[in-house]
Amino acid sequence: MALCRSGASLHVQRQGLTGHPPFSIMPSASCHRLKALALCATILLASCGGGGGSDSALPKDADLVVSAGMVPADSDDAYRFLTQASMGPSSEDIARLNQIGYDNWIDEQFKLHLQTSHLKMAEDSAAAMGSTSINGDHVNYSWWTHAIKDPAQLRQRVAFALSEIFVVSTMTVDNGRTVASYLDMLTNKADGSYRDLLEAVAMHPAMGQYLSHLANRKEDLASGRVPDENFAREVMQLFSIGLYELDDSAKPKTVNGLPVETYTASDISGVAKVFTGFSWNWPSAQSAVDWWKCFWRSTECRATTQDVDNMSAYEAEHTVTEINFLGITIPMLSAQATGDMKKAKQTSDLKATLDRLAEHPNTAPFISKQLIQRLVTSNPSDTYVADITHVFRANRGNLREVVKAILLHDEARHPSSDTMDSYGKLREPVLRLTHLLRSIPHTSARYASGLANGTTPFLLAADTGDAGTALGQTPMRAPSVFNFFRPGYQPPQGQIADAGLVAPEMQITNETSVLGYANFISGVLAQGWGWDNTRRQFDVQFDVSQWNSNATSPAALLQSVSDALLGHALPDDVRLEAKAAIEAMPATNATQRKQRIQAAILLVALSPSFNIQQ
């Protein structure tokens, strides 16, 4: 979002903060210049309101019809599209996009599926590391490896967006197999129907554990027990219809100036009844075991498949009373109903509930706007949201068509210069690092070892959750069901709120996180990332040798690095400050010249042009 204009920010920053750790790759004189530029980025953000590439070629089709209007006009257009539709532009993706155009690239990407599932990579990485259990670390390895290496980039990006809407977290679900399986489900259904996705989310054991409707028991009038309402609340508030009635542009409808709530406490109680009687998958090998032993996953009914297989329906614990919610009444069964009749009713209750949520007038605008926010811009116009809402409805929630419409919409492809002050989004920290790793060549001893040994290759990606020393964000490890940030977040006391805009990612952005990001990227460039205790070295190492010939010319170096990371030059004010910082660094030997290259990459990675997706 171009709410940022550089100008006279440096003086403020140079007066400011003391006690922060130095940038590891810079000599002290240049360190102060670099800190000034890094903190300038902080002020710029605050003023707003508070080479990898794939390892195998994408499929080619000689029969593709390439429309001139779908081919990027220049590098700015290509980079804009790929920052929206991938985990970061790579030279291979740029070349392919320029060859076949936006629409064909999207279609081609959705034909691709994961080369290796997240579940297998989590399991294999645990085995390779000698771990006795599969946990969040192994999910982390898999997420980063897929994000950076797998050719199915659009599927990765959409799955990441979905993971921030339909949240589960390794902070609560500590079984890595379960979370990896959930991530596979999101990835596989990234081009399916919203209705099918909603059911897959509801029935997955990861969500069952996270929002506690796994082993949810029916009401007991004698004891006063009522069904757990946790998932019932969130499936409406966060996963489907939202809190307030919306028009097609996702603006709240009002009566007497007040928004109209979409559901009540009684609706939550009604939906909670529907989600009773679902628990651990009942393996066919244990079909003769008493049902309650499988419901509770006792030692007599325990299998590793239960970690990943959809929950089973246990009619003995499904509600026996009438169900009322969102204008629907599901009558109770008679006392003479057989077990088969009860099981059939449990299935039909679930279907009726999910159908109602998927077809509710709110669902299309509620989900459409969030997908636009995750992929393109935090503050889409009313027309943009309404257009995607209509596509959602016309295609019965087909996510492939919805995502394609989002990415090809004129507001995504040709944003008006008149709206640039409110267009775009602050990029999430993890997407900044995936961009760097997909744009700049790098090596990984662990990944290379897997390729050489014929085992599953993976990057030894370290946890990045600490805001002071890393990114302040670890994939699939959100602090709550509300994700790392809310879609409607407004930084207090700033230009964004004053303008009536939102900036979701600013909720995890502050002085500490910006400095933490700067120092983290500095350290990654200089030392590497992901400590390998066996090899006693950092696993992921950037290879910056392609810029060796530019190291003695700061202007040429900055231009080449900017072209690689941004597709265009830095704005003049930032470029001149960066050039001065690099010129102050010696370049008499190979080590010093490498430090210049690393500094150039760091300066671009700290710039508003890199941190703000437009």
**How far apart are alpha carbons 424 and 401 in whole angstroms?**
22
Residues 6+ apart with CB under 8 A from 340: none
**How far apart are alpha carbons 82 and 376 in whole angstroms?**
10
Place of tokens 């928004």: 259
Place of tokens 């590439």: 53
Taking alpha carbons only, the member of 235, 242, 244 closest to residue 278 is 235
Place of tokens 């419901």: 295
Listed in order, strand segments (DSSP E) in 211-340 are 254-255, 258-259, 278-279, 312-313, 323-325, 328-330
Taking alpha carbons only, the member of 597, 612, 518, 609 closest to residue 570 is 609
CB atoms within 10 A of CB 442: 22
**How far apart are alpha carbons 437 and 89 in whole angstroms?**
10
**How far apart are alpha carbons 195 and 350 in whole angstroms?**
12
**How far apart are alpha carbons 392 and 403 in whole angstroms?**
9
Report pTM. 0.91
Alpha-carbon torsion angle 351, 352, 353, 357, nearest 10: 100
Burial annotation 250-271 (CB, 10 A radius, 16+ → b, else e): beeeeeeeeeeebbeeebbbbb
Contact present, 179 and 168 (Cβ < 8 Å): yes
Contact present, 129 and 123 (Cβ < 8 Å): no
pLDDT value at residue 335 = 80
3-class DSSP state of 193: strand
**How far apart are alpha carbons 49 and 109 in whole angstroms?**
36
Domain ranges for the chain: 9-54+424-613
Residues 6+ apart with CB under 8 A from 80: 413, 614
pLDDT value at residue 337 = 87
Half-sphere exposure for 264 (CA within 13 Å, toward CB): 5
CB atoms within 10 A of CB 327: 8
Task: Return the DSSP state at 548.
Answer: G
Largest CA distance in the chain: 90
Q: pLDDT averaged over consecutive 10-residue blocks of the chain (614 residues)? A: 33 28 36 42 38 45 88 97 98 97 98 97 97 96 98 98 98 97 98 98 98 97 96 98 98 97 98 98 96 98 97 96 96 87 95 98 98 98 98 98 98 94 96 98 98 97 97 98 98 92 97 97 98 96 98 98 97 97 98 98 98 96
pLDDT value at residue 69 = 94
Contact present, 388 and 405 (Cβ < 8 Å): yes
**How far apart are alpha carbons 176 and 180 in whole angstroms?**
6
**How far apart are alpha carbons 439 and 245 in whole angstroms?**
42
Cα 472 to chain centroid distance, Å, stands at 14
**How far apart are alpha carbons 521 and 509 in whole angstroms?**
16
Burial annotation 403-416 (CB, 10 A radius, 16+ → b, else e): bbbbbebebbbebe
